[in-house]
Copies of this chain bind each other. A is one copy, B any other.
Amino acid sequence: MSQPAQARSRRTRNRLIAAAEDEIAAQGFEGLRVDAVVRRAGVAKGTFFAHFADKEILIEELIAARLEAELQRLEAAPPPHDLDGFIAALMPAWSLMTQERYVFDVIARHSTAMGIANLGPLAIAFQRLYDVISDWLSGAPFRTDVTRRLLAEGVQAFALQSMALEFCALHNQIGLAARLRPYLRAWLLPNHAAGTKKAPETGALSVAAEAA
């Protein structure tokens, strides 16, 4: 994977990626067309598919690259020491994932590994994210009756669900952080949760329940 090919091939691949980035900057991920990329790169259509098994794999790579950049920041950052700090620290990564509905869908589909010995770039990035979160969660205020790993996976489960809701017109008057908070509080600080009765701790979906 490191040295897959001759120089010409690498150049072509880079041209394709650059062209795709340009197109995405102009049209967004959703509006990306293989024909447009290929035209901009000055290359035949078949060439595209010689380099990327399908369109989604290219997109996955581009999203993963953005995520990796954010991960680098997260890994360097000091661990947060309370729930709100935790949420704030992860917010940039989460906003990245919710920029575009299309992007979120790709992530939802690929954030778990999809084939034996064949973790896609997004799945790999998510493993790294789990590591960061696990690490942060091992510390002081958070529950310890359960492995950090399990805790981290739970955080992702709630995050994905809240993000999905973010795209639902019925519920989007409330921000991601606000939506996510009650879940994480109940998940990460189960003993504290009983103490407060402030604010509507109803689930984010209750708005929909009303409407139904």
Contact = CB atoms under 8 A, between A and B. Distances in A.
Interface stretch (A32-40, A68-76, A91-99, A197-205): A197-205
B145 A199 contact: yes
The A interface, classified by DSSP as helix, strand, loop or mixed, is helix
Given A161-B160, A199-B145, A150 B113 contact: no
A112 interface: yes
A182 B114 CA distance: 23
Contacts of A164: 108, 111-112
A143 B112 contact: no
A150 B183 contact: yes
Interface in A158-173: 158, 160-161, 164-165, 167-171
Nearest to A130: B205
Contact of A161 (B123, B157, B165): B157
A147 B202 CA distance: 6
A112 B158 CA distance: 14
A1 interface: no
Contacts of A190: 143, 145, 190-191, 194
Interface residues of A, number: 58
A145 B208 contact: no
Given A113-B169, A160-B157, A170-B113, A208 B119 contact: yes
B127 A212 contact: yes
Contacts of A187: 154, 186-187
A23 interface: no
24 contacts: A105-B109, A108-B109, A112-B165, A113-B208, A114-B169, A115-B170, A117-B170, A119-B208, A119-B212, A124-B212, A127-B209, A130-B205, A145-B194, A146-B186, A147-B208, A149-B203, A149-B206, A153-B161, A153-B203, A153-B204, A154-B158, A154-B183, A157-B158, A191-B194
